[in-house]
Each structure stands twice: as structure tokens, then as C-alpha cells.
């Protein structure tokens, strides 16, 4: 497969996860989410779109760099875990925004975080640049996990 086509497919996979999350989020972010008590450090809504655009791009490039090394030992399982992480990413939005279940989403995001940290370690072993590209995603999901936990706490 052409390497640039492969990059396009990784971007498409990430954007598919984003679209699922966006679909689950679209109405609730205007109706339900504003009714929740949130911590003072909750970012403004305008931050989320640009941040996620950059993250999905970096995630895709990181996975693509591993795909370029797919014949190295351990690369293929890491790529499978990448796709699992995309599914968990989309599922969080469905649970939190779609089903209005912040508690369930908190449990799920902890699983996602473990998956992402595992990927970070494995990416860095295979390709240091891929690891650096993945690190902002881990940082953002760490922040999102704390925010999710604060929202659960404030709305108990």
C-alpha cells in the first residue's frame, strides 16, 4: 500500500472516531452539559474543537509511523491497540454526552487512559517521534479524566 494512502486511512479512522463522538456530543453540549455543575478550571467550549483536531492529527501520524515499521516485532499488536483506543475514545462521548452518564464515562475513561499510556510506552519503543506525537493525547485525556471526575463529584 502507498505510504500516503496509509496515512490518509489513519486520518480517516481517527476522524471516524471524532465523528461518532461529535454526533453523540452535538445536542447535549448545547442542552444538557450547560446544566451541570463544573469546576472553575473547566475550559471554554471553543477550546475543544481546535485541541481535538490537533490531537487526532498527531494520533494518526503517530500510528502511521508505527505502520511504517509494521514488520518490526511488536508493531502489529500496537496498531491493533491503536484501533481499540479509537473505539474507547468514541465510546466515552457516547457514555458522557449521548447517554448522560458521567459516572460510567469516568470508569470508561480510566480504561482509555491505561490503553493510551500503554500505547505511549510501546510507541516510544518502536519510534520515539511517534511517542512524542502521542504524548499530548495522553496529557489531554489525563486532564479530561480529572474534569470528568470533578463533574461526577460536583453533580452527585
Residue 43 lies in a domain: no
Q: In the chain, pLDDT over 70 holds for what percent of residues? A: 100
User: 12 in a domain, yes or no?
Assistant: yes
**Domain membership flag for residue 17:** yes
And the C-alpha cell for 43?
475550559
pLDDT bucket at 1, cuts 50 / 70 / 90: confident
Name the band, by pLDDT with cuts 50, 70 and 90, for residue 136. Answer: very high
Burial of 132 from C-beta contacts in 10 A (0-12 / 13-18 / 19+) = middle
**Interval 4-32: pLDDT, tens:** 999 999 999 999 999 999 999 999 999 99
Kindly state whether residue 44 falls inside one of the protein's structural domains.
Answer: no
- pLDDT single digits (tens) 81-99: 999 999 999 999 999 999 9
Residue 24 covered by a domain: yes
Residue 99 is classified by DSSP as: S
The b/e string for 113-130 (b: 16+ C-beta within 10 A; e otherwise) is: bebbeebbebbeebbeeb
Answer yes or no: is 37 within a domain. no
Please tell me the number of Cα atoms within 13 Å of 132 on its side-chain side. Answer: 3
Any domain includes 86: yes
**Is residue 147 situated within a structural domain?**
yes
Tell me how many domains the chain contains: 1
Q: What is the CATH number of the domain that holds 150?
A: 1.20.1260.100
Domain of 100 in residue numbering reads as 3-32+49-154
Amino acid at each position: 500500500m502507498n505510504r500516503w494512502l496509509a496515512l490518509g486511512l489513519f486520518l480517516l479512522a481517527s476522524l471516524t472516531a471524532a465523528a461518532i463522538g461529535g454526533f453523540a456530543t452535538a445536542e447535549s453540549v448545547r442542552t444538557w452539559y450547560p446544566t451541570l455543575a463544573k469546576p472553575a478550571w473547566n475550559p471554554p467550549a471553543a477550546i475543544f474543537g481546535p485541541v481535538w483536531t490537533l490531537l487526532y492529527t498527531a494520533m494518526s501520524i503517530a500510528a502511521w509511523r508505527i505502520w511504517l515499521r509494521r514488520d518490526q516485532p511488536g508493531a502489529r499488536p500496537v496498531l491493533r491497540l491503536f484501533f481499540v483506543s479509537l473505539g474507547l475514545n468514541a465510546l466515552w462521548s457516547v457514555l458522557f454526552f449521548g447517554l448522560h452518564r458521567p459516572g460510567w464515562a469516568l470508569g470508561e475513561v480510566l480504561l482509555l487512559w491505561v490503553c493510551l499510556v500503554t500505547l505511549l510506552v510501546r510507541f516510544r519503543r518502536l519510534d520515539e517521534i511517534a511517542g512524542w506525537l502521542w504524548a499530548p493525547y495522553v496529557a489531554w485525556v489525563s486532564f479530561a479524566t480529572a474534569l470528568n471526575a470533578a463533574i461526577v463529584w460536583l453533580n452527585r
